[in-house]
């Protein structure tokens, strides 16, 4: 492993691990793109076909903002229609098909849960985290979660809510986008950048290139 890809060990002590979801634990860009396309077709919206790369390029942001950034030029009423209906269609398709877990996630989460309480904070729509839990069987591994779809609040605010209601003293936040990093910084929480995900971050506290590296980083004594 080169120096540039070697995790930096500067996190301990920590008492809990909070995860972002998309781009950190799994990838659902394919079914989400299909969900958007289904809504576009249903309402005969004049727009090109949405691709998984379109969704990947805006992942980590609140759903409505994702739609706005991808579907530039559509009138406001169609943006709102597409945003509202694709939330439900995305959830339906993901519940039906599941997502693609990153290599090492099942084993890594199981190992981490033996030492730390685990949590999720995401900018996803309501119901999405529950679908993740149900489709993977991971619900017993996580203590709590929060998302934009439930609260309408920023990722930083939702991270703070999870920290406060679970009385976390030394959490670490694992994510893959600048928005994740900003949420961690806003709460004075160490940030671990999952470089295998969707985004690019500058000068994170630690960087990992795989979930196996993350496991090793957080379990080192």
Contact, 84 vs 119, CB < 8 A? no
pLDDT in tens, the chain (221 residues): 343 444 444 566 899 999 999 999 999 999 999 999 999 999 999 999 999 999 999 988 899 999 999 999 999 999 999 999 999 999 999 999 999 999 999 999 999 999 999 999 999 999 999 999 999 999 999 999 999 999 999 999 999 999 999 999 999 999 999 999 999 999 999 999 999 999 899 999 899 999 999 999 999 85
Instruction: With H, G, I as helix, E, B as strand and everything else as coil, classify residue 22.
Output: strand
pTM of the model: 0.91
User: What's the rounded Cα separation, in Å, for the pair 129 and 150?
Assistant: 11
pLDDT tens for each residue of 177-197: 999 999 999 999 999 999 999
Q: How far is CA 59 from CA 65, 93, 215, in A?
A: 10, 17, 23
């Amino acid at each position: 492993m080169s120096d540039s890809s070697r995790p930096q060990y500067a996190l301990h002590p920590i008492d809990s691990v909070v995860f972002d979801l998309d781009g950190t634990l799994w990838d659902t860009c394919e079914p989400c793109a299909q969900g958007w396309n289904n809504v576009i077709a249903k309402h005969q919206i004049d727009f090109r076909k949405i691709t998984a790369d379109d969704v990947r390029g805006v992942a980590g942001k609140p759903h409505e903002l994702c739609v706005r950034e991808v579907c530039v030029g559509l009138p406001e009423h169609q943006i709102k229609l597409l945003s509202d209906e694709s939330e439900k269609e995305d959830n339906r398709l993901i519940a039906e098909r599941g997502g693609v877990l990153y290599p090492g996630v099942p084993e890594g989460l199981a190992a981490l849960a033996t030492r730390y309480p685990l949590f999720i904070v995401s900018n996803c729509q309501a119901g999405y985290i529950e679908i993740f839990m149900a489709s993977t069987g991971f619900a017993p591994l996580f203590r709590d979660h929060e998302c934009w779809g439930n609260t309408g609040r920023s990722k930083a605010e939702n991270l703070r809510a999870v920290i406060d209601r679970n009385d976390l003293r030394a959490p670490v936040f694992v994510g893959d986008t600048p928005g994740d990093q900003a949420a961690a910084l806003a709460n004075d929480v160490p940030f671990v950048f999952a470089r295998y995900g969707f985004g690019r971050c500058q000068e994170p506290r630690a960087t990992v290139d795989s979930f196996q590296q993350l496991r090793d980083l957080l379990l080192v004594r």
